[in-house]
Amino acid sequence: MSLLTVTPSGVRVLAPAKVNLYLRVIRRRPDGYHELDTLFERVGLYDKLTFRHAPALTLRCSDPSLPTDERNLALKAALALKRHSGYGAGASIRLVKRIPHAAGLGGGSSDAAAVLLGLDRLWRLGYGVRKLSRIGLEVGSDVPFFVAGVPFAVGRGRGERLRPVPAGGVRLWHVLVKPPFGISTREAYQGLDPVSLTPYRADAKMLLRSAKLGEWERLAGFLRNDLEVSLNKRVTEIAKIKAALVEQGAHASLLSGSGSTVFGVYASARLAARAARRLRRLDRRWKVFVAPTV
Ligand code: C5P
């Protein structure tokens, strides 16, 4: 499925969300980042971006609570690409937000990747994935995953050393539940307590194989998020959402990335939709989405 469309007036790009099926924090690095081993999965909840030729770079956003200057990763990515390419003009960028922010769903990073891909096409730069990923990493650790354009990938380093994992026809269904508070990524990593971490064997291939065979208990055993272990103590609502998802039939539930979204894994669209309806009724402050692997 191509997420980029050339239109008569410019370019349109859909920016998907992600969840992390596992996220291991290996160690803190001297540069302040953490060395990770994570399995990214792209999921079908989208922001929409449109790009038109314009003399200067400008960003408009459907969510008035978000900045439209360089603090917004979409504009930050556009400025980085303009600087790298020396492109002489600009673009007007319109961003329609659906992915909640400070949610662990990679919304800002995905917008940034969509900007790199969209402007690369609009400005006819012809940069490949490699070059765009390198520029993307200046904007955020998760940007290279979204530039890569694959449903599943293992990320090492800051998350930018990527190895795509063949999906083998696996399509999972997710219910995403975002509580009324957000968590900043920096805050989540700062709260990490390595002492509390128990050993865990990450195995992306076996995880996806279990999903393919419908061996759900086995799959649940492979899901793990080291940041959840540290956040759970402080944020009881996350534990509550996890339990509610399992109560509503999820085979497994986990904090996504640095939170605050929790996702449940379901075998079908029907089961996920039913669970989502019930979860919305359970707590009206929760934002609930259904999204498959894309
Ligand atoms: O790269 P990004 O801007 O998304 O990271 C935000 C913050 O999250 C970083 O400043 C850092 O505190 C933390 N982080 C980390 N290790 C990573 C990714 C992010 O410590 N691999």
Does the CB atom of residue 185 touch ligand 1 within 6 A?
Answer: yes
CA distance 271 to 248: 9
The pLDDT assigned to 210 comes to 97
Residues 96, 25: one domain? Answer: yes
Residues 178, 160: one domain? Answer: no
Residues 146, 84: one domain? Answer: yes
Residues 190, 217: one domain? Answer: yes
Nearest atom, ligand 1, residue 28 CA: 20
Residues 127, 203: one domain? Answer: no
Does the CB atom of residue 33 touch ligand 1 within 6 A?
Answer: yes
Residues 47, 100: one domain? Answer: yes
Does the CB atom of residue 280 touch ligand 1 within 6 A?
Answer: no
Task: Measure 188 CA to ligand 1 centroid, in angstroms.
Answer: 9
**CA 106 to each of CA 80, 144, 170, 174, 235: distance values in angstroms, whole numbers, following the listed order:** 19, 11, 21, 15, 20
| Torsion of Cα atoms, 252 then 256 then 261 then 264, to 10° | -20
Strand locations in 217-280, DSSP E?
224-225, 252-255, 262-266
In the chain, how many domains are there? 2
Residues 200, 180: one domain? Answer: yes
The DSSP line for 105-145 is S-HHHHHHHHHHHHHHHHTT----HHHHHHHHHHH-TTHHH
Residues 144, 48: one domain? Answer: yes
**Which residue lies with its CA nearest to atom 20 of ligand 1?**
33
**Which residue lies with its CA nearest to atom 13 of ligand 1?**
186
Residues 154, 20: one domain? Answer: yes
Does the CB atom of residue 72 touch ligand 1 within 6 A?
Answer: no
- What sign does the CA torsion over 203, 205, 206, 211 have? positive
Residue owning tokens 């969300």: 17
Domain boundary (141, 164, 187) is at 164
Q: State the chain's mean pLDDT as an integer.
A: 95
Does the CB atom of residue 156 touch ligand 1 within 6 A?
Answer: no
| 104: DSSP letter | S
Residues 126, 181: one domain? Answer: no
Q: Running along the chain, 294 residues long, what does each successive block of 10 average in pLDDT?
A: 91 98 94 96 98 98 97 98 98 98 97 98 97 98 98 98 96 97 91 70 94 96 89 81 98 96 97 98 98 98
Compute how many other C-beta atoms are within 10 angstroms of the C-beta atom of residue 157.
17
Just list the catalytic residues: 18, 142
Kindly state the helix (H) or strand (E) to which residue 81 belongs, with its residue range: helix 73-85
Domain boundary (108, 134, 164) is at 164
The best mutation among 185, 190, 227, 230 to test binding of ligand 1, ranked by most ligand atoms within 8 Å of the C-beta, falls on: 185
Query: Which of these, 274, 280, 281, 225, lies nearest to 253 by C-alpha position?
Result: 225
The pLDDT assigned to 201 comes to 81
Q: What is the CATH number of the domain that holds 249?
A: 3.30.70.890
Does the CB atom of residue 16 touch ligand 1 within 6 A?
Answer: no
Residues 199, 95: one domain? Answer: no
Does the CB atom of residue 186 touch ligand 1 within 6 A?
Answer: yes
The pLDDT assigned to 194 comes to 63
Domain boundary (138, 164, 190) is at 164
The best mutation among 23, 109, 186 to test binding of ligand 1, ranked by most ligand atoms within 8 Å of the C-beta, falls on: 186
Nearest atom, ligand 1, residue 139 CA: 3
Task: Measure 112 CA to ligand 1 centroid, in angstroms.
Answer: 15
Does the CB atom of residue 25 touch ligand 1 within 6 A?
Answer: no
The answer to whether the beta carbons of residues 32 and 13 sit under 8 Å apart is no
The best mutation among 23, 33, 135 to test binding of ligand 1, ranked by most ligand atoms within 8 Å of the C-beta, falls on: 33
Q: What is the CATH number of the domain that holds 39?
A: 3.30.230.10
Residues 186, 155: one domain? Answer: no
Structural domain containing residue 258: 173-292
